């Protein structure tokens, strides 16, 4: 007879997500996952089958959370486009308290991207959703005169996300907020 699980899988995935986010895939030990989730080694492997399977679930959870938050912000047509872009970028500088610095997606691309093309494809699809939404919002801002009509919306959206990636890497290395703010101000001049 199979014993029922006495833990919340969703909470375990969330806890694992934070460990992978802070330490990366390779540097995260099974013991660190056990400590974070409160589960024993056998419970982790019986439930998730492998460290990699748990990582994949954690990464998908992270992408769902960050993508939905960014899309919600991007689609806020009650805010000027510059304000929306500022908020997207500033969240890299001042993330929610208690969140690890940087970005699990950026960290994953750097760490695993060169050896895992399937993973990169998943990350690229997620990224394309955000790029498309931001380019659409920029087009709408062009229609109202908030952004110069001669600007390429897709290129501007790509630029914002390249800057965001750089800000997240800088945050990971402990860059001061004042320096990051200067980068954001410079990026907003494109609008």
57-100 pLDDT tens trace: 999 999 999 999 999 999 999 999 999 999 999 999 988 888 98
Q: For position 98, what pLDDT does the model report?
A: 87
- Matching residue, tokens 């990699």: 52
Distances (CA, A) of 187 to 113, 163, 182, 191: 26, 7, 9, 8
Comparing CA positions, the residue from 172, 121, 130, 171 lying closest to residue 154 is: 130
Q: For position 6, what pLDDT does the model report?
A: 58
112-162 per-position pLDDT tens digit: 999 999 999 999 999 999 999 999 999 999 999 999 999 999 999 999 999
**Residue 101: pLDDT band by 50, 70, 90 thresholds?**
confident
Neighbours of 81 (CB within 10 A): 23
Q: For position 2, what pLDDT does the model report?
A: 47
26-55 per-position pLDDT tens digit: 999 999 999 999 999 998 989 999 999 999
What count of Cα atoms within 13 Å lies in the side-chain half-sphere of residue 104? 26
CA triple 11-16-19, angle to 5 deg: 135
Task: Output the six-digit token pair for 96.
Answer: 């929610």
Q: Using an 8 Å Cβ cutoff, are 33 and 43 in contact?
A: no
Q: 7-16, 64-73, 129-138, 179-188: which has the minimum mean pLDDT?
A: 7-16
Helix (H), strand (E) at residue 110: helix 104-112
Helix (H), strand (E) at residue 121: helix 117-143
| Structural domains for the chain | 60-188 (1.10.357.10)
């Amino acid at each position: 007879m199979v014993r029922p699980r006495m833990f919340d899988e969703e909470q375990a995935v969330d806890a694992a997500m934070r460990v992978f986010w802070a330490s990366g895939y390779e540097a995260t030990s099974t013991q660190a996952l056990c400590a974070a989730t409160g589960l024993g080694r056998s419970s982790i492997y019986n439930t998730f089958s492998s460290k990699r399977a748990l990582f994949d679930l954690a990464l998908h959870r992270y992408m769902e959370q960050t993508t939905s938050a960014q899309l919600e912000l991007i689609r806020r047509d009650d805010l000027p486009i510059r304000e929306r872009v500022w908020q997207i970028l500033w969240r890299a500088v001042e993330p929610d308290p208690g969140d690890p610095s940087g970005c699990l997606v950026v960290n994953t691309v750097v760490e695993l991207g060169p050896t895992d093309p399937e993973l990169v494809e998943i990350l690229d699809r997620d990224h394309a959703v955000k790029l498309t939404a931001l380019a659409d919002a920029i087009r709408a801002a062009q229609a109202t005169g908030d952004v110069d009509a001669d600007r390429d919306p897709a290129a501007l959206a790509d630029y914002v996300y390249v800057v965001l990636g750089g800000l997240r890497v800088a945050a990971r290395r402990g860059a001061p907020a004042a320096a990051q703010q200067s980068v954001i101000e410079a990026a907003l001049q494109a609008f």
